[in-house]
Structure 1
Amino acid sequence: MTDRRQRHVNQALMRIPRRAESTDRSTLATTYVAAGSFSAMLNSEDHQILYGRRGTGKTHALLYLSDVVERAGDVAVYVDLRTIGSAGGLYADSSLSPSTRGTHLLVDTLEAIHEELLTAAMEREFGDPDGLLRAMDTLVDASTAVEVVGEVEAETRLGEKEHSGAGVELSVSTAPRGRISAGQQRTVRAESRLRRTGVEQHRVLFGPLGRALRAVAKAMRPSRLWVLLDEWSSLPVDLQPLLADLLRRSVLPVPGITVKIAAIERRSRFFVPNGNDYLGIEVGSDAASAVSLDDFMIFDHTQNRAQEFFGQLFYNHAGPRLATMMREPPADADAFLGEAFRRGAFAELVRAAEGVPRDAINIAALAAQHANAEPIALADVRNAAKDWYLRDKRNALAVNEPARRTLQLLVDEIVGNRRSRTFVLDQLGYAAYETIDELYDARLLHLLRRGIVDPQHPGRLYDGFAIDYGCYVSLLLVGDQHTRVRDRGGWISSPKGVPPDGFSLSRVAVDLPTLLKGMA
């Protein structure tokens, strides 16, 4: 292959968009690749919560679903919860009560849904367009009611007024008449005044709101309304159950409406007990199911499936661009991968991505830069994974000293002492350590396997984790003698450089309380 053609291939990898929201809807629809049966589950009419860490493709999945349902004749309302109201101001203002902040959040969310519905009503034809507009007016009234909270003072005044004078009354008819009158008149006036002192507050009435939404759904028939709420975890955690409760009481019970919510599992709170009842959504009951992209993207022992997914992902993005740059572009994903990567390099890139599409795209772009006018080699992938870790992932811990210290202790133990990168933690034990969740959210720890059973203690379950590939590689490339392998020069190009992802409870179980006792 000529240098010019290879440069085009590498440039196509470097130009893949990193974020779904920066890409137009048509491109998102054509580049989407479903992992396993995820697409079929996503397209179901059940209410669902879609979990996944940053970069796993939640936004891409919702926008793809929006395109699918619109083409099927339904109506999709996509709401990015980061952009409604004043998420960074009013909602986070601790000087205001949770009820005040929560009510404003409900009103702002309903307003965003109403605006999207209004756009759909103007652009499309529905079975009952007049009924839809009336229902939307009712929806506005139900979601923007205002009451004044404070003291109310009533005042009534009575007054009299006298006046005297004379008058002349004339009338013209067949028999002319006239009357002169004189005397006094008394007028009694009553004045009533109602004075309120207080502040106006929004209130949301679940009953009228639910009836308005039923009227909206009825007027749209036979089209179905899909409400897609993205970036749920961007909302303050204490307000999330309030919005969830609004959905449970007024939206989820309405026939003809489906709700999908994208959230980060360990940064979301959908349910809180409230006496004998509860506030929010009970996952598995009110919302039919919760789907985890993290679980779907754990390919574990099925590496062929992982390579097929990421190969198609790269080709869907790079193929259309190459069609404008080459006379004979690669015909399919296999042909593209054959031109872009040397033997073993693509499999290593899939492993380095740890099941996160955004990391795979960034590592591929950096590897293409390292390769320049050559196909991407194993060494390019490992150097790119190191660069991505040092430039992006490690910086996420710059202001989080506890998480940074936890990672350091795990690396010292797992990589330094055990010469591995995988380990297991007791499920109940690590739940008490927030720093493990923070490292998982930052994609510095990766959950590879859930519910590992200890044969000696069947009642105890473990989860299998791995130190981030880029973190491990950076230690081997730039670390001290304690963490380097002996043949450092040969390792970078060796297929056996990174230890396999396996679990043995006798060798890799970590006693987290003992490891972290110095942090207390």
Structure 2
Amino acid sequence: MRPINTILLRLAKRAETYNQQHIINSFVDVGPLFTLLSNPDNQILFGRRGTGKTHVLGYLANEVQRDGVIAIQLDMRTIGSTGGIYSDPRLTLPERATRLLVDTLCAIHDRILTEGLEKAEEYDLSALGPLLDNFIDAATNVVVEGTVEVQESKSATSTSADGIKGNIGASANGLQSSLDFTIENKNQAAEERRTKREGTECLRVRFGAVGREFEKLVTALPQSQLWIVFDEWSEIPLDLQPYLADLLRRTVLPVRGVTVKIAAIEQRCRFRIPDEAVGHIGIEIGADAAASINLDEFLVFDNNPDLAKQFFRELLHRHVKALVSATKEMEVKESASEFINDLFTQRPAFEEFVRSAEGVPRDAINIIGVAAQKALDHAISVPDVRAAARTWYTRAKQQAVSTKPLAQDLLNWIVDEVIQHRQARAFLLGSEVKDDLVDFLYDARVLHIIRQGVSAQDIPGRRFNVYALDYGCYVDLINTSRAPQGLFEVDVEGKSGFVDVPYTDFRSIRRAILELSPFYAKRL
């Protein structure tokens, strides 16, 4: 096998498996993404699995630390305990969320303490230590809910004895006298008070106290700033998410100098729920946290082919270069373009690879690994890319969809309607349509949103989202008579034809609109 193909097989699929230096060396910025994330506003970073949320936030945390500011990255999969995370019929949702908040605050305390101990020469531990203690004491306050019984008992004793003894006597040598005088008085009193509490110990987070102690702690940190990155937010149970978000809104977000970044999967998170008493529980996006960033909008091939090719060219080059630099087993060309020319047989092979990734870096790394395995001693060709994409789709995405039979039926129906009947690879769905099955297919990365808010002059007042079918759905049809002819068919300037770029406004898009009602009517 070619040495470069061997290296491709060793590329890790998840950012947390790499060390910090590899994450730094292999990071590829795209458009204004890093600039948007670098501002001190609280933000939510959305993106499906494999879009690079952990990687970009890890790189962000490192850049912040280079500027002398403490940045801690918390993996929410490792925060909490069974009593807070999992459903317990004896505990209410607020109590479970409070336990999870306390575990989160304890994790923040531990990370700051570890940072102080590792860089003791940069921190005044004599001043930082008491502040950390006060913060964790306020965060872990425990009260007992139940009855309180007070028992009191008193006892007193008094003893007194007065006596005078005199003894006068004469001796042979003369008169001798003696006088003994004794006075005795004893008083003793005892009082006993016992308090008996019966009830349940509960954590109670007093927002004001925690906020004050946290602000004092942050003020004592370098530059009086602290960046907190919450990764894998979607791993928190869905019912707990709005409560934990609300508790963070009341304890962490108001603290001056604290910047919070949250990485989440849009279809698997719930930051806010309505509440009659207080209006809402949770974080309001746009108010409590700045407008969110969605990684899925940056790298789709059909949106901007040149940008997508540039990103994946740099992605492969930097990952391989970072991996080889640690082992020194081969030389990698400094130019990313020359590296790609050596890796693929021709330019169309690389373009086919970029299209097959559908804007998802993890899918790209998996596909290139399978393609390298199929190419063996040769450069990677178009057939290798297509075979690898088919294998990866069957091995990963098809298996995920098959766990939900109704979603599988909907995918089969969409493929039949869009590819077979319309010879297209994309369709339009009304922006107002909220469908759990469509969200599941999108989360499983067999559907991709490539444009939002598309409108048409002949359908005033209604907007649509452009969904594209995954490359693996139609890879077997390429070079056949049933292959898709383009994204979808529309009327533009009075002419009917297929488009490859989803504009924001068309004259007519009726042929591209997909209504889900026939599918559900058929199921009923």
Aligned AA for 1:345?
A
Structure 1 position 456, deviation (Å):
1.7
Query: Which of 315, 318, 327 in structure 1 is aligned with 2:317?
Result: 315
Tell me what 2:136 maps to: 140
Q: Which structure 1 residue ranges, 5 or more long, are not aligned?
A: 170-175, 478-483, 488-496
Provide the secondary structure at the position in 2 that maps to 1:428: coil
Instruction: Assess if the C-alpha contact under 8 Å between 1:78 and 1:227 holds in 2.
Output: yes
Give the RMSD, CA atoms, in angstroms. Answer: 2.6
Amino acid at match of 1:132: L
Shift of 1:243: 1.8
Other-structure match for 2:216: 215
Provide the rounded CA distance (Å) in 2 between the counterparts of 1:155 and 1:411: 77
Question: 1:119/1:499 Cα in 2 relative to 1: closer, same or farther (>3 Å)?
Answer: farther
Matched with 1:390 is 394
User: 1:259-298 deviations in whole A, cap 9, x for unaligned?
Assistant: 1110111211112233343322111111122111111223
Label 1:188 to 1:440 Cα distance change in 2 as closer, same or farther (>3 A): same
- What pairs with 1:49-60 in structure 2 (closer than 5 Å)? 49-60=44-55
How many residue pairs match? The answer is: 489
Structure-1 residue corresponding to 2:237: 236
The AA in structure 2 aligned to 1:283 is: I
Partner of 1:428: 432
Cα distance in 2 between the residues matched to 1:61 and 1:167:
94
Could you tell me how far apart the structure 1 residues matched to 2:105 and 2:330 are? 50
Alignment CA distance shift 1:224-1:101 (3 Å): same
The AA in structure 1 aligned to 2:234 is S
Distance 1:140 1:317 in 2: 40
Tell me the distance in 1 between the aligned counterparts of 2:36 and 2:365.
Answer: 25
CA distance in 2, matches of 1:333, 1:120: 37
Matched, 1:461 2:455: no
Is the contact between residue 244 and residue 270 of structure 1 (CA under 8 Å) also seen in structure 2? yes
- Name the structure 1 match of 2:73: 78
Tell me, yes or no, if the aligned pair for 2:43 and 2:290 is still in contact at 8 Å: yes
Q: 1:123: Cα distance to partner? A: 2.2
The AA in structure 2 aligned to 1:353 is A
Q: Distance in 2 between matches of 1:460 and 1:140?
A: 52
User: Would the aligned equivalents of 1:345 and 1:378 in 2 still touch at CA under 8 Å?
Assistant: yes
C-alpha displacement of 1:165: 8.2
Tell whether the 8 Å contact from 2:13 to 2:362 is kept in structure 1 after alignment: yes
Q: Would you say the 8 A contact 2:22–2:322 is kept in 1?
A: no
1:99-498 matches, within 5 Å, as 99-124=94-119, 125-126=121-122, 129-159=125-155, 179-181=181-183, 187-222=188-223, 224-274=225-275, 275-322=277-324, 328-343=331-346, 344-429=348-433, 431=434, 433-474=435-476, 476=477, 485-486=480-481
Distance 1:358 1:178 in 2: 104
**Bigger Cα displacement from structure 2, 280-289 vs 433-442:** 280-289
CA contact (8 A) 1:46 1:288 kept: yes
Flag the 1:503–1:133 CA change in 2: closer, same or farther, 3 A.
Answer: farther
Q: Which amino acid aligns with 1:398?
A: S
- Of 476, 500, 505, 2:486 maps to 500
CA distance in 2, matches of 1:312, 1:76: 27
Distance 2:323 2:100 in 1: 42
The structural deviation recorded for 1:334 is 0.4
Work out the percentage of aligned pairs sharing the same amino acid: 41
- Aligned equivalents of 1:164, 1:410: Cα separation in 2: 104
Q: 1:93 aligns with which of 81, 87, 106?
A: 87
Q: Distance in 2 between matches of 1:512 and 1:381?
A: 33
Report the Cα distance in structure 2 between the residues aligned to 1:341 and 1:503, rounded to whole angstroms: 32
Greater Rg by CA = 2
Q: Is the Cα–Cα contact under 8 Å of residues 146 and 202 in structure 1 kept in the other structure?
A: yes
- CA distance in 2 between counterparts of 1:119 and 1:457 reads 59
Evaluate the alpha carbon distance shift between residue 168 and residue 305 of structure 1 in structure 2; reply closer, same or farther with a 3 A threshold. farther
1:314 CA drift (Å): 0.2
Q: Which of 10, 15, 21 does residue 15 from structure 1 map onto?
A: 10
Alpha-carbon distance between aligned partners in 1 of 2:94 and 2:224, rounded to the nearest angstrom: 35
Q: Greater shift after overlay, 263-272 or 396-405?
A: 396-405
Match of 1:29 in 2: 24
Once the two structures are TM-superposed, the CA of residue 177 in structure 1 deviates from its matched residue by: 8.7
**What does the per-residue CA deviation read over 1:93-148, in whole Å, with 9 as the maximum and x for residues that have no partner?**
14121012111100010011110000111123557543322221111011100011
Task: Report the Cα distance in structure 2 between the residues aligned to 1:256 and 1:503, rounded to whole angstroms.
Answer: 52
Q: Go from structure 1 to structure 2 and tell me whether the alpha carbon gap of 1:362 and 1:327 turns closer, same or farther (over 3 Å shift).
A: closer
Q: Which residue of structure 2 lines up, in the alignment, with residue 490 of structure 1?
A: none
Answer yes or no: is the 8 Å Cα contact 1:51–1:263 preserved in 2: yes
CA distance in 1, matches of 2:334, 2:106: 47
Query: Is the contact made by 2:442 and 2:448 (CA closer than 8 Å) also made in structure 1?
Result: yes
Q: What secondary structure, in the 3-state scheme, does the structure 1 residue paired with 2:260 have?
A: strand
C-alpha distance in 1, partners of 2:252/2:122?
Answer: 20
Distance 1:340 1:151, change over 3 A: same
Within 2, Cα distance between the matches of 1:167 and 1:349? 114
Shift of 1:329: 3.0
- Alignment partner of 2:334: what SS? coil
Q: Normalised by the size of structure 2, how large is the TM-score?
A: 0.87
Q: Distance in 2 between matches of 1:122 and 1:328?
A: 39
The 1:341–1:179 alpha-carbon spacing in structure 2 relative to 1, beyond 3 Å, is farther
Q: Quote how far apart the aligned CAs of 1:372 are.
A: 1.0
Range 89-98 or range 214-223, more displaced: 89-98
Please say if residues 82 and 234 of structure 1, whose CA atoms lie closer than 8 Å, have aligned partners that are also in contact: yes
Distance 1:328 1:127 in 2: 42
CA distance in 1, matches of 2:180, 2:513: 116
| 1:513 alignment partner AA | S
CA–CA separation in structure 2 for the residues paired with 1:93 and 1:136? 31
Going from structure 1 to structure 2, the CA distance change for 1:269 and 1:456 (only over 3 Å counts) comes to same
Give, in angstroms, the shift of residue 514 of structure 1. 2.1
Kindly tell me: are residues 110 and 519 of structure 1, through their superposed partners in 2, closer, same or farther at Cα, counting changes over 3 Å?
A: farther
Q: Deviations over 1:47-102 (max 9, x none)?
A: 1111100000000011111111111111111100000122x664121412101211
